[in-house]
């Protein structure tokens, strides 16, 4: 598979863009190759600048749950664009999407739209601090909540992919108000939250960790977290940027029947366009300006193109049986992947929740950050390059997740299994 045009574009990009990319993991350094430059996408297929086609398991990192270029979403964006691309003023579409979100997500009574997941999480934390009058944020090792200063402590996603322990440029007086503890550890969770010396405003968590690979919550983790935060008057924030409208129409909180105080959303609610949102109890949300003293603003928040795309996407996700079919398809695919690994004799631990999954190259159970880090990232890199050469597009990091979409057909997944078996056998030859 020739990628000469992509290589030329990458060299050109590096002269004007740091690392040649606008988000670090895209540089593909951890998997030992250069990125391919994508020029178009349709349904479950990507096409690069050289004309190569790939079966897509990244889905723009989650939002393409319906596949690429869905005609209903394209039509909605086109129609909206004909009336203007940005107003910096209220639009009727904002109300329509807000009503759909509040009807869908159990915890959300009021919602504020922003432009990214990072904006959503940083705004939710500021709101929690303003509402409680406290300062400390508790997060979990390996969970990534965007690149705001206070979150780059033992963060997941590109931070661990690139081996960056934190980030220069983040002042110590900011991160001292962030406490990071092990995911799924009930003992440390209770000890931390009951520490009266800590001035805890909120706990923020990915209900299913998706940025150290897919790591499901242990059976009592989320319920214990909800019980403790409620007892101690600590705001509980679910970062559902990945899981929102992905695991079920009501997100992870509907999937697990756990209701947080605030929820952060992104990805799917913009139908693939840049968008984020945070929402929750009216009592808390009423503290946001102009109703309250906690300030947050954005010229492009509620952008009409993103709102139109989000409305079209959410309407499609309401189709009867959509999530049942998607999750069953994902479960069957995951079982076949695990079976292939066992048959070939290569150690792979596969974690899956709904249509989100990660195959870790390790024979140990992966249940937190430390166990995820035992996976063989070099072997994943070899596997990535081999699969890419056969037209299978995966996340360029052992510590990211694969997404199944409604657009992937049985024959697509059959081909992915066949190529996986081929790749696993080649790994054992090395």
Catalytic residues: 144, 239, 267
| 3 state SS for 226-237 | HHHHHHHCCEEE
The secondary structure of residue 209, as a DSSP letter, is B
The Cα 331–Cα 355 span in angstroms is 8
- 333 alpha carbon, distance to own chain's centre: 20
Q: Alpha helices, DSSP H only, in 167-281?
A: 172-175, 186-193, 221-232, 251-256
Cα–Cα dist 384/406, whole Å? 23
CA distance 20 to 37: 11
Tokens 């929102």, residue located: 244
d(CA 239, CA 42): 29
Contact present, 246 and 79 (Cβ < 8 Å): no
Beta strand 402-403 with 392-393 is: unpaired
Q: How far is CA 7 from CA 14, 36, 48, 51, 396, in A?
A: 11, 7, 11, 13, 16
For β-strands 262-265 and 276-280, DSSP reports them as antiparallel
> What are the tokens at 199?
């001035």
What are 138's two structure tokens? 């508790």
Contact 31, 396 (CB under 8 A): yes
């Amino acid at each position: 598979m020739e990628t000469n045009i992509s290589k030329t574009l990458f060299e050109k990009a590096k002269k004007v863009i740091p690392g040649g990319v606008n988000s670090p993991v895209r540089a593909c350094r951890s998997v030992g190759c250069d990125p391919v430059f994508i020029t178009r996408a349709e349904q479950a297929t990507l096409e690069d600048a050289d004309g190569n086609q790939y079966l897509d398991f990244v889905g723009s990192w989650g939002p393409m749950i319906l596949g690429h270029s869905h005609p209903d979403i394209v039509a909605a964006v086109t129609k909206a664009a004909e009336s203007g691309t940005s107003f910096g003023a209220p639009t009727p579409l904002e109300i329509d999407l807000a009503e759909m979100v509040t009807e869908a997500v159990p915890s959300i009574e009021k919602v504020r739209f922003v432009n990214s997941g990072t904006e959503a999480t940083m705004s939710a934390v500021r709101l929690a601090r303003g509402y409680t009058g406290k300062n400390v944020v508790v997060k979990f090792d390996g969970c990534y909540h965007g690149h705001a200063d206070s979150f780059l402590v033992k963060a997941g996603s590109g931070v661990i992919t690139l081996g960056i322990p934190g980030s220069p440029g983040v002042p110590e007086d900011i991160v001292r108000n962030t406490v990071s503890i092990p995911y799924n550890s009930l003992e440390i969770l209770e000890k931390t939250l009951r520490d009266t010396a800590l001035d805890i405003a909120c706990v923020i968590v990915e209900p299913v960790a998706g940025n150290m690979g897919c790591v499901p919550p242990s059976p009592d983790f989320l319920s214990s977290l909800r019980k403790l935060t409620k007892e101690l008057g600590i705001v509980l924030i679910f970062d559902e940027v990945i899981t929102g409208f992905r695991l079920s129409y009501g997100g992870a909180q509907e999937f697990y029947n756990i209701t947080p105080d605030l929820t952060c959303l992104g990805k799917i609610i913009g139908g693939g366009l840049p968008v984020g949102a945070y929402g929750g109890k009216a009592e808390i949300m009423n503290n946001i300006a102009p109703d309250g003293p906690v300030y947050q603003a954005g010229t492009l928040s509620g952008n009409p193109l993103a709102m139109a795309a989000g409305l079209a996407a959410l309407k499609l996700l309401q189709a009867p049986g959509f999530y049942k079919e998607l999750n069953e398809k994902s479960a069957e695919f995951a079982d076949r992947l695990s079976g292939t690994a066992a048959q070939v004799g290569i150690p792979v631990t596969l974690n899956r929740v709904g249509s989100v999954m990660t195959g870790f190259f390790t024979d140990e159970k992966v249940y937190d950050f430390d166990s995820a880090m035992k996976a063989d990232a070099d072997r994943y890199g070899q596997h990535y390059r081999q699969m890419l050469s056969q037209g299978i597009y995966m996340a360029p990091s052992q510590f990211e997740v694969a997404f199944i979409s409604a657009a992937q057909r049985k024959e697509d997944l059959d081909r992915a299994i066949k190529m996986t078996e081929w790749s696993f056998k080649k790994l054992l030859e090395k």
